[in-house]
Amino acid sequence: MGGTWPFRQVAFFMRIFQKSWLHILFAILFILLSSQNISAFVRENGTLIVEVALNSFPSEAVHIQDNVGDEDFFDNFEDEFGDPSENEPFDPLSGYNRVMTTFNDKFYFWLVKPVAKGYKFVVPEGGRLAVNRFFKNLLFPVRFINNSLQLKARAAGVELSRFCINSTVGILGLWDPAKDWLELEAYPEDFGQTLGHYGVGSGFHVVLPILGPSNLRDSISLIPDYFLEPVSLIEPDLDELAVKSYDKLNYTSLHIGEYESLKKDAVDLYPFLRDAYEQNRKKKVKE
């Protein structure tokens, strides 16, 4: 046993690197893109045109005629309307984020939604709800550990009770007797909320490919939460990806129309989704 210990340690860290390659790639991408300005807009027929400028665009100069230079007028104007820059969030990756928001939007409408609608047509709602409860039950370690780290003893105790009841009486979580019979609601927590609970700021906003809106804190927090998920233990990696993809497909089939309703109220989609995400995360951290 003692002689094999170093090799087991090396294998453990190699597994961490193997599983985290996507997050490392994201981090490198973010560093590279922070020195670039990327602007994207959609032309006719939905063609996405992306313009990448390695050098910063010169700021627009505004010239005011001398005969309009009444300082009191502009002071009053600023008092009434305020300085827009004061309310602007720190968003160094806004160019990249806009491109990725457009990509995710097209990915949803062109691929995810059609497949989810077909799946919804084939699989009855009762079966899809049972599958959703099953995967939700599997995320017990994430909720339990993060509630415990935040010293939320009651919430952690409820999560433990729910897992025991639903995994046995509820047949591996396919049903939720803890909620239906005992009115024990889940307490969803993740490592991003745990960091926020202890005062770690959200950092700049980041839109992840396919995963959607996030920020620096929550993106980094995906790594510890990943290793708490039982699905991450599935080998080989392609099988793990297939299981997670099925989980997301099933979840999407239960929520078709929600994104569409949210999007129709947006004048500019990216800042709308960004602000909605950040406000929602702040609310969850405070709970």
pTM surpassing 0.85?
Answer: no
* Residue 71 in domain: no
pLDDT band at 89 (very low <50, low <70, confident <90, very high): confident
Which residue segment(s) compose the domain that 207 sits in? 94-286
Spatial contact of 56 and 94, defined as CB atoms under 8 Å apart:
no
The string of pLDDT tens digits covering residues 224-277 is: 999 999 999 999 999 999 999 999 999 999 999 999 999 998 999 999 999 999
pLDDT band at 88 (very low <50, low <70, confident <90, very high): confident
* Residue 185 in domain: yes
- The whole-angstrom separation of Cα 138 and Cα 80 is 53
The string of pLDDT tens digits covering residues 54-66 is: 333 334 434 334 4
* Residue 252 in domain: yes
The string of pLDDT tens digits covering residues 108-161 is: 999 999 999 999 999 999 999 999 999 999 999 999 999 999 999 999 999 999
* Residue 182 in domain: yes
Please give the pLDDT value at position 61: 38
* Residue 27 in domain: no
- The whole-angstrom separation of Cα 283 and Cα 279 is 6
* Residue 33 in domain: no
Q: Of 207, 214, 203, which is closest to residue 96 (Cα–Cα)?
A: 207
Count of structural domains within the chain: 1
- The whole-angstrom separation of Cα 153 and Cα 159 is 10
* Residue 263 in domain: yes
* Residue 240 in domain: yes
